[in-house]
Amino acid sequence: MVGRHLNMQPELIFSPTDFVAVTNQVFDQAYQGMVTIEGELSDFKISQNKWVYFNLKDDIASVRFFGTVYMLPGPLEDGMKLKVSGAPRLHPKFGFSITIQTIALSGEGTIKKAFDLLQAKLEAEGLFDPARKRSLPFPPGRIGLITSEQSAAYADFMKILNARFGGVAIRFMDVQVQGEPAVGQIVEAIRYLNEHEPDLDVLVVTRGGGSLDDLAVFSTEAVTRSVATSRIPTLVAVGHEIDVSLAELAADKRASTPSNAAELLVPDRAQELARLRAESRQLNNALIQLTSSIRNNIEKIKLQFEQSMNTLFLDSQARLKEYERLLTALNPRNVLGRGYAIIRQQHRAVGSIAQLQPGAIISIEMKDGTADAQITNDNVIGGDNYDRKATI
pLDDT tens for each residue of the chain, 392 residues long: 444 455 566 778 888 888 888 888 888 888 887 899 888 888 999 999 899 999 998 888 889 999 998 888 888 888 888 889 999 999 988 889 999 988 888 877 777 888 888 889 999 999 999 999 999 998 899 999 999 999 999 999 999 999 988 788 999 999 999 887 899 999 999 999 999 999 999 999 999 888 777 888 898 999 999 999 999 999 999 987 777 889 999 999 999 999 999 999 998 888 778 888 888 888 988 999 988 889 889 989 988 898 888 898 888 988 888 888 888 777 777 777 777 788 888 888 887 888 888 888 888 888 788 888 888 875 544 445 455 555 55
Per-residue pLDDT, 390:
58
| Helices marked H in 331-358 | 332-336
3 state SS of 243 = coil
Whole-number Å distance between alpha carbons of 94 and 90: 8
Fold type of domain 2-106: OB fold (Dihydrolipoamide Acetyltransferase, E2P) (2.40.50)
What does residue 71 show for φ and ψ, rounded to 5 degrees?
-90, -10
Find the angle CA(239)-CA(79)-CA(184) to the nearest 5 degrees.
Answer: 45
Per-residue pLDDT, 204:
96
Per-residue pLDDT, 8:
64
Q: Tell me whether the omega of the peptide bond preceding residue 130 falls within 30 degrees of 0, making it cis.
A: no
Per-residue pLDDT, 387:
56
Per-residue pLDDT, 391:
58
Rg (CA), the chain: 55
Question: Which class for 278: exposed (0-12), middle (13-18), buried (19 or more C-beta within 10 A)?
Answer: exposed
Query: Distances in Å between the alpha carbon of 273 and those of 159, 166, 267, 269?
Result: 19, 14, 10, 6
Per-residue pLDDT, 195:
95
Asked whether 148 and 154 are in contact (CB, 8 A), the reply is yes
The CATH class for the domain spanning 123-266 reads alpha beta
Asked whether 347 and 361 are in contact (CB, 8 A), the reply is no
Edge-to-edge strand ranges of the sheet holding 253-254: 169-174, 142-147, 202-207, 234-238, 253-254
Find the angle CA(239)-CA(243)-CA(245) to the nearest 5 degrees.
Answer: 90
Whole-number Å distance between alpha carbons of 181 and 315: 98
